[in-house]
Amino acid sequence: MAAEEAAFFIDARDTIGEGKMLLAQATVACAENDSYDAAKRAAMKARTVFRDAGDKELEATAVRALADVLLKAVPQNEKGSREVMSVAHEALDLCRASGDKKGEGMALYKIAQAHVVALRHEEAVEVAEDALELLQDQRHCALVEASVLQCLAEWCLQSKQHAKGLKYAEDAYELFGEHRNARKEARALTTLVQAHLANKEVYRALRAANSGLYRFQDANDLKGEAEALMARSAGHADGDNIFDALKDLEKAVDILRDCGDKALEATALCKTADLQARLGKLDKAQTSAQRAMDLAREMDKFDDEANAMKVLVSVQLQQEEHEDAIDTANRMRSVFEQAGAKKQEAVALMVLCDSHKAAQDHNDAIYAAKAAQTIYHEEDDEAGEAQVLNAMTELYMMEDAFDKAVKTAERARALWRSVADRVGEANAMIMLATAQLNVQAKKEGKENRGGKGGWDKALKTSKDALVLARKMPDEQRGSQYIAHALVVLTQVYMAVGKIDECMKSANEAVALCRETGDEQMEAFSLVLCAQVQLAQGKLKEAREDASEALAIYQDSKNEDMIEAAKKVIQEVEAQEGRSLLPQLTAAQAPQQQQLTAIQMMQQQQAQQEIDQPKGAQAVSRVRTGGTGALDLAAGVEMETVRAKIFDTVANIIGDEEEEIEADTPLMQAGLTSNTAVLLRDELSTEIPGINLPPTLIFDYPSINSIAEFVVEKSIGR
């Protein structure tokens, strides 16, 4: 109809009428979602018509319509953002030239949306706030103003500006309600509830959801009622009231099925499946997720289908149906590939990666991740590629391929920085520092030397990560990232023998972990504290911290870290001469658990558990008969090894008059941070063939414990 009317205006030589009809044609075609080419042609033709007519205001309107088409048609990456940005700036220049303030505000809004195409939410917020200021000064712009407020709320939440996001969400919800725009009011209600939850206001989130629910019920708006139920479900779930949350979702699914809104029903079914899985109703969860996938496929909604696939595979993995999960991900990858849905294909590949990882097939997981990386790179999606690189870094560290982990982490860091994502950059830097730490520790373990440069790299990266994390606000989980950076930094300090710095960073990490409720990282930090205190001879403090860590790890059944905490307590036992080690009950038996990148570093450095040390005894200053290195080929006696260690210690400390108790911490006997590193290097020369860890003085703080470690290792050669 619009095309026919446009032809009528052409025949009548009414160029303005022709241009307006072309604009209408572009709007209709864009709304149909599958006629973007036709919409783009109509908008571009309208622009030419208005330009030839010399009407800058209408020309700007046509250019903004073209921007709307592009926002739906372009890929979500930097290239797509640039295409929209160019058109939006053209509209902005036209509006400023004609003095059209309302048009200027709307052009700025399009520029903000162009930033979102490339996931630059913080930049989008800044530009949209300028647009809002202009539009609020104009008359008859309430609905446009409400739309900008709604987007500002969503973008603020995306960029972790939670307080600001809540203010915009409240204003948007109020404006849409005043103008009785039910569909947009329902969307605004959902965002308002999300904003309250982001600000940890569960009660207010539920109150807002209930208020909206009653309004939609009074208006007999079934779709609005369903959306309000979904919003209230989110509030219940955030408050750990999973049963009521599930009840609301199931009611929403029934309403949406009756309404025939398959798109929203698929979304509600995905959320339903997730809650059913959390309650252990895995069969029902799988049925709900499969139904959501079928609905999305029926409507050719690839994003919805990809989301449903993720939920379905997640449920299959919880049921330990690894092969089914792999088959589902592979099948959906083929579906998306054949449809030319590149982004969704990449999502399927990452789901496949997670499935292989759960099945302990790390090589296949890496292969899938590489394929996803290729797609994101070709699509110019830097954020997507960075996320894949993070996953690859973790997989490489699981395979002890630390050199490769360093390379992928460095690339991820550069990409996160490019898209101005400080959270992603901080996470990548922490992973990079962990990988560098592992690289150097591996070199030290193999060669008993690694060079100072390796530790310097890890030290610099961990310090840089800490600086970046300290700049992050708490709403971006700044405290949590600070704690993680401190843990890595503590390990580097420990490796290079900087005792004071080590203790300071470990203590700060413990305090932050307690503040954020991160028990696993708190326990890990406590173990680090205990190791330093043990080396300093502070046995009471070492025992307390290690025991506290052990209690946390026993609750989570983290086998590797249970052993690390037990080891510190055993060293305290040896020095105090009495048993302090709590007994594990059968119910507290260790269970295999996936390690974080930092925990893997601890596992790699942890040594075999030594036998219970004997009571304290004095080591005489009798020389071993020369200064030559020990020959372990034919075996060696404990006394010989102990005497060699004593000689080396005495040469470094420089005091040969007093006897040193074999179980006395060497740092208490006069060893310093710098000489601790020297001792390890000297022992590597004097006792060749034994890989001494870079944290030797922390793991084995006395002559006795070092000697027992050496003998145990020599037996295993």
Is the pLDDT reported for residue 449 higher than 50? no
Cα–Cα distances (Å) from 375 to 145, 386, 405, in that order, read 37, 12, 20
Q: Tens of pLDDT along 532-563?
A: 888 888 888 888 888 888 888 877 666 777 88
Mean pLDDT, the chain, rounded, equals: 83
Q: Which two tokens stand for residue 215?
A: 């309004």
Residue 63, classed as helix, strand or coil, is: helix
Q: Which two tokens stand for residue 285?
A: 């969860």
Residue 14's pLDDT band (boundaries 50, 70, 90)?
Answer: low
Phi, psi of 320 (to 5 degrees): 60, 30
Q: Is there a domain that residue 666 lies in?
A: yes
| CB-based contact 102:73 (threshold 8 Å) | no
Is the pLDDT reported for residue 586 higher than 70? no
Max Cα-Cα span within the chain: 116
Residue 450's pLDDT band (boundaries 50, 70, 90)?
Answer: very low
DSSP tag of 667: T
Domain boundary among 576, 602, 624: 576
Q: How far apart are the first and last CA of the chain?
A: 87
**What count of other Cβ atoms lies within 10 Å of the Cβ of residue 74?**
17
| CB-based contact 697:667 (threshold 8 Å) | yes
CATH of the domain at 469: 1.25.40.10
Q: Are residues 667 and 572 in the same domain?
A: no
Is the pLDDT reported for residue 196 higher than 70? yes
| pLDDT the model gives residue 322 | 94
| pLDDT the model gives residue 498 | 84
Q: Are residues 571 and 644 in the same domain?
A: no
Partner residues linked to 619 by β-bridges: 660
Q: Are residues 572 and 645 in the same domain?
A: no
Q: What is the mean pLDDT of residues 258-277?
A: 92
Q: Are residues 456 and 543 in the same domain?
A: yes
| pLDDT the model gives residue 611 | 34
Q: Is there a domain that residue 648 lies in?
A: yes
Q: Tokens 């596992």 appear where? A: 603
Q: Are residues 558 and 645 in the same domain?
A: no
Q: Tens of pLDDT along 467-516?
A: 988 888 766 677 888 989 999 999 888 888 888 888 899 889 888 888 88
Q: Tokens 């592979």 appear where? A: 330
Q: Tens of pLDDT along 603-614?
A: 433 333 333 333
Interatomic CA distance for residues 116 and 114, integer angstroms: 5
Cα–Cα distances (Å) from 605 to 208, 476, 568, 676, in that order, read 52, 31, 14, 17
Cα–Cα distances (Å) from 591 to 155, 279, 556, 560, in that order, read 41, 22, 9, 9
Q: Which two tokens stand for residue 315?
A: 């449920």
C-alpha angle 525-529-530 in degrees, rounded to nearest 5: 115
Q: Is there a domain that residue 569 lies in?
A: yes
| CB-based contact 110:95 (threshold 8 Å) | no
Domain that holds residue 521: 450-576
Domain boundary among 528, 545, 576: 576
| CB-based contact 136:145 (threshold 8 Å) | yes
Query: Which residues does 597 contact at the CB level (< 8 Å), separation at least 6?
Result: 393, 394, 397, 430, 431, 434, 435
Interatomic CA distance for residues 29 and 16, integer angstroms: 20
Query: Which of 344, 357, 346 has its CA nearest to residue 314?
Result: 357
**What count of other Cβ atoms lies within 10 Å of the Cβ of residue 527?**
24
The amino acid present at 94, given as its one-letter code, is L
Q: Tens of pLDDT along 286-306?
A: 999 999 999 988 888 888 899
Bin 341: left if φ > 0, else alpha if -120 < ψ < 50, else beta: beta
Residue 716's pLDDT band (boundaries 50, 70, 90)?
Answer: low
Q: Is there a domain that residue 214 lies in?
A: no
DSSP percent split of the chain into helix, strand, coil, nearest 5: 75, 0, 20
CATH of the domain at 699: 1.10.1200.10
Domain boundary among 550, 576, 602: 576
Q: Are residues 649 and 555 in the same domain?
A: no
Q: Is there a domain that residue 373 lies in?
A: no
Q: Which two tokens stand for residue 503?
A: 């203790």
Burial class (CB in 10 A: 0-12, 13-18, 19+), 608: exposed
Q: What is the pTM of this model?
A: 0.71
Query: Which of 221, 222, 247, 224 has its CA nearest to residue 235?
Result: 247
Q: Is there a domain that residue 507 lies in?
A: yes
Q: Tens of pLDDT along 379-412?
A: 888 889 999 999 999 999 999 899 999 999 999 9
Q: Are residues 560 and 651 in the same domain?
A: no
| pLDDT the model gives residue 32 | 67
Q: How many domains does the chain fold into?
A: 2
Q: Is there a domain that residue 471 lies in?
A: yes
Q: Is there a domain that residue 206 lies in?
A: no
| CB-based contact 273:315 (threshold 8 Å) | yes
| pLDDT the model gives residue 516 | 83
| pLDDT the model gives residue 606 | 37
Q: Tens of pLDDT along 85-143?
A: 999 999 999 999 989 999 999 999 999 999 999 888 999 999 999 999 999 888 778 88
| CB-based contact 373:393 (threshold 8 Å) | no
Query: Which residues does 150 contact at the CB level (< 8 Å), separation at least 6?
Result: 168, 169, 172, 176, 184, 187, 188, 191
Q: Are residues 547 and 650 in the same domain?
A: no
The amino acid present at 426, given as its one-letter code, is A
How many CA atoms within 13 Å lie on the side-chain side of 603?
18
Is the pLDDT reported for residue 669 higher than 90? no
Interatomic CA distance for residues 679 and 452, integer angstroms: 16
Q: Are residues 572 and 659 in the same domain?
A: no
